[in-house]
Amino acid sequence: MSPRAVVANAAFGLLLGFSLSHIGFGDFGEVHRMFTFADLRLVLTFGGAVALCAAGFAVVSRRWRFVPRPAQAASAVGGVVFGLGWALSGACPGIVLVQLGEGRMLAGLTLGGILGGTWLFGLAQRRWGIGAAERC
Amino acid sequence: MESFLRYWRTSYCDADYARCARFRMSAEGKPVPVNLLPSGNLMKVVPK
Amino acid sequence: MNLEVLNGQWPFWLGALALAVTAVGYAASLGRLMGVSGMYERLLNARVELSTEREERAFQDRTILAEALRRETLAEMQRQGVKDIPAEMAAPAAAPAGPEVAPRVPVWSQLVFLVAMFAGGALAKALSGGLAVQAQPDPMHVHLFGRAAPLALLFGGVLVGFGTRMAGGCTSGHGLSGCGRLQPGSLLATACFFGSGVALSMVLGRVLA
């Protein structure tokens, strides 16, 4: 296993977890106030991050070719389902790990739910032919 | 290499994607091996 | 050192900068996009990926890849009864020009990333003196859901897992790495998850609070 990939993954994972915690993304109240626009700090954080990413990726994309993400029905439907789950639990797949690291034990329920939901989607694909956004 | 990729693309992706093994596997929710060809063959390293 | 950065809640510009540095830095140093839900999926399917590890490593050499692909393509054309094979296919193949596709990062390094995220959350709390095991649910969560709060966490988690797999990404993969590259699917998914989060939270705030 290449040491470079391990070091980079450890460093950026640590930075992401550290930042998300200080931003307050691990706190349900903060996330709820973001979604109800009661506090615009997190909205501006996320929006600002996207804008800065756009500037950064304009440069990085000259060096590397990345996977395209075409718009599909599954991107929209999956997005809506994910948003409902985020509003209910206050977590996305990355944030739940930060919550656990912060000592919020109940986030274990959320993580269990996420793994269960991932498994359930695989089942839905096999049984009922529900498609995922761009694979293969 | 572009010409080979173009051959696979025109005979599977464009002509009849439903018979592409990669598409069929992913539609069933199974993980697709990186070296699976649309024909269903697993691409191997050519022995020297 | 400025202790405000280690203690308090970050202002929006610092948070935005940190998230962007993470997403862009990851892509710049590895040539691969950062996406947490994709890491979950790769780890859950690690068995299949490890079974083709040898080929994947060998095919990182573009000439070996081109030669294997040439052989398979000619065999397939023969099976399909294609008579005239273009001249450029008969000669040994050249690797394509333009920006490269980076090799995938090893599947176990994705586990390192997830564990590091956990450690990052713990480190942030430890350095600000607030690291403590909390078995109690979040006060705001209880305010909204009362005794059903744990159920909301579990059911919400199921929706998160299902939705991110269906959309093929989450806040990091679609929200940062995808929107940052102005990809239509990512912009659509992000608008949808943010929109539905806003809609449900507004309703919950009105009805339950």
pLDDT tens, residue by residue, B1-21? 778 888 888 888 888 888 889
What pLDDT was estimated at residue C3? 56
Query: Which residues of chain A neighbour C34 with C-beta distances below 8 Å?
Result: 12, 16
For B46, the token pair is 């050519």
User: Smallest Cα–Cα separation from A134: which of C50, C189, C105, C177?
Assistant: C189
Backbone angles phi, psi at B45, to 5 degrees: -70, 135
Task: Supply the mean pLDDT for chain C.
Answer: 89
Q: What angle do CA C51, C171, A17 make, to 5 degrees?
A: 80
Cα–Cα distance for residue pair B27/B20, rounded to 1 Å: 11
* The pLDDT value given to residue C102: 85
- Neighboring chain B residues of A131 at a CB cutoff of 8 Å: 27
Dist. CA A58–CA C27, nearest whole Å: 12
* Residue B8 at interface with chain A, using a CB cutoff of 8 Å: no
Nearest to C15 by CA among B19, A38, B1, A51: A51
B26 touches chain A (CB under 8 A): yes
Q: Which of A43-57, B26-40, C33-47 has the lowest mean pLDDT?
A: B26-40
Check A135 against B28: CB less than 8 A apart: no
Least confident of A36-50, B25-39, C99-113: B25-39
Show which of residues 66-125 on chain A sit within 8 Å of chain C, judged by CB atoms.
Answer: 66-72, 74-107, 109-122, 124
CB C41 within 8 Å of CB C168: no
Q: How many CB atoms lie within 10 A of CB C132?
A: 10
Is C156 close to A111, i.e. CB distance below 8 A? no
Q: Does the CB of C81 have a partner CB in chain A at under 8 Å?
A: no
pLDDT above 90: percentage of residues in chain C: 57
The pLDDT of A59-72, averaged and rounded, is: 91
Residue A99 has pLDDT above 50, yes or no: yes
Cβ-contact C176, A23 below 8 angstroms: no
User: Mean pLDDT score of chain A, rounded to an integer?
Assistant: 93
Report yes or no: A129 at the B interface, CB cutoff 8 Å.
yes
Q: Residue C1: pLDDT above 50? A: no
d(CA A54, CA C125): 30
ipTM exceeds 0.85: yes
Say if residues C172 and C34 touch (Cβ distance below 8 Å): yes
Lowest mean pLDDT of A39-43, C71-75, C84-88, C121-125, name the range.
C84-88
Tokens in use for C74?
């000619």
Written as six digits, the tokens of C52 are: 């083709």
Q: What pLDDT does A29 receive?
A: 95
